Amino acid sequence: MDAKVNYKVADKIVVDDIRRSFETRKGTLPVVGGISLTIRDGEFVAIVGPSGCGKSTLMKMLCGFDQPDEGRVLIDGQVRHGPSSKGILISQHGSVFPWLTVQQNLMFGLDGISEAEKAELADHYTAMVGLKGFEKSYSHELSGGMLKRVEIARALVMKPEILYMDEPFSALDALMNLKMRMELLRILEEERHTVLLITHDVEEAVHLADRIVVLSPRPTTIQATFEVNIPHPRKMSSPEAQDLKEAVLKELGL
Ligand SMILES: Nc1ncnc2c1ncn2[C@@H]1O[C@H](COP(=O)(O)OP(=O)(O)OP(=O)(O)O)[C@@H](O)[C@H]1O
């Protein structure tokens, strides 16, 4: 552990001044311009920012799929050099294998236990996301919302300490989006994870997060941070939720 970083045991993720540029035909494109952030164990942090500001680039560095040019990401006080088994990314693109059933998809990454135990765990998490009875279904037999649930179950079955979510519900219609948020909140009540959510949906951030980080345009830095002190279940039509939503939108220039 580097003495320069002020790390506390309850800090799950410490982001220490990370920067990232890309070389393009037009020259160097600075995308992430110096981000420092500390996320407590069990905290739910939502990151919102204008289109193209560098949210996904930031997320890739946070979950270890990409390395910053400068700065570091520490998980449990350890500098991270690549993806770690402590975290799982759920992205908008989806990663369910179409040639496997729901149950087989969930069993896929499990190691060190018998096939029967894997199947039992898989079925437990399938039920947890409300898909009991669909264990033997293939992805083409499921709706978009159901697939998203499989996606989440597939991440949860691995018992990750950190859930990285990059616009996980953006492809869903408004009703299914709301349903999935409620589902996620219910699951997090049962099994607490540290969650990092990237979203362009400010209402989603207000509904779900303990803290909302607003990013500036590219090269992105943290422009503002909002603590969400609204108890769950949150009523999105409440004055506090509406005020917060407006304050975040104002930061985004809307
Ligand atoms: N590997 C790369 N090489 C070159 N440029 C890249 C690379 N990855 C991202 N970029 C550029 O970085 C900028 C930010 O992209 P990024 O996908 O991180 O933004 P975003 O905020 O997630 O976008 P959106 O709001 O559209 O989801 C874009 O201009 C993109 O073209």
Domain boundary among the residues 159, 184, 207 is at 159
Query: Can you give the pLDDT at residue 186?
Result: 87
Ligand 1 atom 29 nearest Cα: 52
154 and 190: one domain? no
Strand 70-75 to 78-79 pairing: antiparallel
Q: What is the pLDDT of residues 235-252, one digit of tens each?
A: 999 999 999 999 999 999
Sequential DSSP letters for 80-101: --S--TTEEEEETT----TTSB
Lowest mean pLDDT among 58-72, 87-101, 108-122, 240-254: 87-101
Query: Can you give the pLDDT at residue 129?
Result: 83
Give the residue-averaged pLDDT of 200-218: 96
Ligand 1 atom 10 nearest Cα: 22
How many residues belong to the chain? 254
Ligand 1 atom 8 nearest Cα: 57
Give the residue-averaged pLDDT of 49-73: 94
Cβ pair 151, 96 in contact under 8 A: yes
144 and 214: one domain? no
Q: What residue ranges line ligand 1, CB within 6 angstroms?
A: 22, 24, 29, 31, 49, 51-57, 200, 218
Total of domains in the chain: 2
Ligand 1 atom 3 nearest Cα: 22
Distance CA 245, CA 234 (A): 13
Give the residue-averaged pLDDT of 14-41: 96
61 and 103: one domain? no
φ, ψ of residue 153 in degrees (nearest 5): -60, -40
24 and 63: one domain? yes
Task: Please give the ipTM for the structure prediction.
Answer: 0.97
What is the residue range of 153's domain? 98-159
Query: In this structure, what token pair is assigned to residue 82?
Result: 């690549």
Ligand 1 atom 18 nearest Cα: 54
Domain boundary among the residues 107, 140, 159 is at 159
Burial of 83 from C-beta contacts in 10 A (0-12 / 13-18 / 19+) = middle
Atom of ligand 1 nearest to the CA of 200: 25
Query: Can you give the pLDDT at residue 169?
Result: 83
Q: Where are the beta strands (DSSP E) in the chain?
A: 11-24, 27-40, 44-48, 70-75, 78-79, 87-91, 162-166, 194-198, 211-215, 222-227
Which position has the higher pLDDT, 250 or 168? 250
CA angle 122, 126, 127 (to 5 degrees): 120
Q: What is the pLDDT of residues 121-147, one digit of tens each?
A: 999 999 888 899 999 999 999 988 888
Query: Can you give the pLDDT at residue 136?
Result: 97
User: Is 5 within the bounds of a domain?
Assistant: no
Ligand 1 center to 71 CA (angstroms): 19
Best residue among 23, 32, 35, 55 to mutate for probing ligand 1, ranked by most atoms within 8 Å of CB? 55
Lowest mean pLDDT among 20-29, 131-140, 144-153, 190-199: 144-153
Best residue among 18, 20, 22 to mutate for probing ligand 1, ranked by most atoms within 8 Å of CB? 22
pTM for the predicted model, two decimal places = 0.90
Lowest mean pLDDT among 64-68, 171-175, 188-192: 171-175
Cross-strand bridge partners of residue 194: 162
Which position has the higher pLDDT, 86 or 210? 210
129 and 50: one domain? no
Tokens 């609204």, residue located: 230
Cβ pair 241, 231 in contact under 8 A: no
Query: Can you give the pLDDT at residue 3?
Result: 44
User: Is 197 within the bounds of a domain?
Assistant: yes
152 and 205: one domain? no
